[in-house]
Amino acid sequence: MRVGFIVGEFPLLSETFVIDQMAGLVARGFEVEVLCNRLKRDDRIDRHTEPMVTLLGETRRWWGWAAGLSGLVARLPARLRYRVSTVLDILFARRLNRCDVIVAHFGQNGERAASLKKWQVLKPPIITIFHGADVAIPSHKSLLASQYAGLIKHGVLNLTVNELFRGMLLSAGASPASTAVHHMGISPHDIGYHWRSWEGSQLIVMTVCRLVEKKGVELALRALSVLEASRPEMDWRYHIIGDGPLRASLEGLASELGLAHRVTFLGSLPHREVKGHLQSAHLFLLPSVTASDGDMEGIPVALMEAMAAGLIAVSTYHSGIPELIEDGATGFLAPERDAVALATKLAWVFDHPRECEDVALAARRKVEEQFNADVLNGRFAQIIAQVAMQAPTRTSDPRVGTAEPVGNHPEQPAIG
């Protein structure tokens, strides 16, 4: 069985869950090909290991030899840009008809595939996986139904990474039969569990994320400032791994709050080095918030990795995070944007290292049982097989579809 994945940039360090899912299918005997907007040259990703060699060998840019025209197309007037983009999509997407199923990661890529269904160009059924901003921001702007009208009509299955996002799609008009929750996960076997007590020693706090608003690093710094003022005897250090548009302002805030001597910004690191840092920390802090534009988390993979490694996870009642963390049982949660409440949680953890060992063990079991990528990839393989079996018989001619686009959505961006 052949599965065509539609993604944006590939491969991305921040989307290792996409790579892991593809690898899981390859390991189960599926043939996988990848259609992307841009090939990403990221030295932090080892491109010379299996299955990356296999995946990269089957990766193509959407517009093929015409991909170099994307910059020119992007400068066209909106209506003409949409028409030209659609024609190029039609010309170069026909090879996807040799696939049994199309899997689109992120809603915008699913909608792009669904538009080809409208022109009767694309034959395989479409499964779309919604992760976060692709559903939360349009929902915040009351645009979810209009932005994904084609996908709601033509998509066979729309999967969300948490229950909240599934509810958003249902409210936008998606049918219950065509929507389901499918968690992303990690491979716990690749992360060794090790409990490290901080009793009588310095508490090492760690965050791994892209430095953007929804990750809540500003809230983390403000909570630690509250802790510094109320519990000056506490000995702690805070290491932040990651980069992004807010780095400079967050470094400035750390200095402004008088925390520069306790906070270290390590920048973006390869995944293997991140795992090494997890082995030396005690507490993983990710107080996620809803961003001003409506952007939200799905369920952060970084939290899963930290919990699998034996760290105490401290986060917020945000989006799908409570599906992973039960307050007081598998980690600790505070309300969004409440620095005082978050500082209270941190202080309790600092004061109760022995009690926290049971929490860490429960967290590891939670990841192993419900967020295990090996199990989830097996389920996903079953989903794909079921969708393929229920699909109408496909033509063997990859050139099917001759409809020409008329175009009435000039707001759609040029992508290629």
List the chain residues with pLDDT less than 70: 43-44, 393-416
Alpha-carbon distance of 113 to 100, in angstroms, equals 14
* H/E segment holding residue 68: none
Are 304 and 371 a contacting pair, CB within 8 Å?
Answer: yes
Query: Which pair of structure tokens corresponds to residue 80?
Result: 């003409």
101-105 β-sheet, strand order? 59-61, 31-36, 2-6, 101-105, 126-130, 157-160, 179-181
How confident is the model over 220-271, as pLDDT tens digits? 999 999 999 999 999 999 999 999 999 999 999 999 999 999 999 999 998 7
Q: What is the pLDDT of residue 163?
A: 98
Alpha-carbon distance of 375 to 146, in angstroms, equals 35
Are 254 and 260 a contacting pair, CB within 8 Å?
Answer: yes
Report how far apart the first and last C-alpha atoms of the chain are (Å, whole number).
26
Answer whether 0.85 is exceeded by the pTM.
yes
How confident is the model over 10-42, as pLDDT tens digits? 988 778 889 999 999 999 999 999 999 888 877
Q: What is the pLDDT of residue 397?
A: 41
Query: Which pair of structure tokens corresponds to residue 297?
Result: 């988390």
Q: What is the pLDDT of residue 164?
A: 98
Map out the domains of the chain as residue ranges.
Answer: 2-185+373-390, 188-370
Alpha-carbon distance of 201 to 48, in angstroms, equals 41
Judge if 2-185+373-390 and 188-370 fold alike in CATH terms.
yes
Q: Is the peptide bond before 322 cis (omega within 30 degrees of 0)?
A: no
Question: Among candidates 122, 59, 116, which has minimal Cα distance to 96?
Answer: 122
Domain 188-370 has CATH 3.40.228.10: no
Q: Which fold has domain 2-185+373-390?
A: Rossmann fold (3.40.50)
* H/E segment holding residue 93: helix 78-93
Q: What is the pLDDT of residue 393?
A: 53
Is residue 76 classed exposed, middle or buried when 0-12, 13-18 and 19+ CB atoms within 10 A define those classes?
middle
Q: Which residues pair with 4 in a beta bridge?
A: 33, 102
CA dist 29 → 32, 50, 150, 177, 182 (Å): 9, 14, 31, 28, 21
Are 148 and 171 a contacting pair, CB within 8 Å?
Answer: no
Residues 6+ apart with CB under 8 A from 390: 125, 156
Residues 6+ apart with CB under 8 A from 66: 88, 91, 92, 416
Alpha-carbon distance of 148 to 77, in angstroms, equals 23
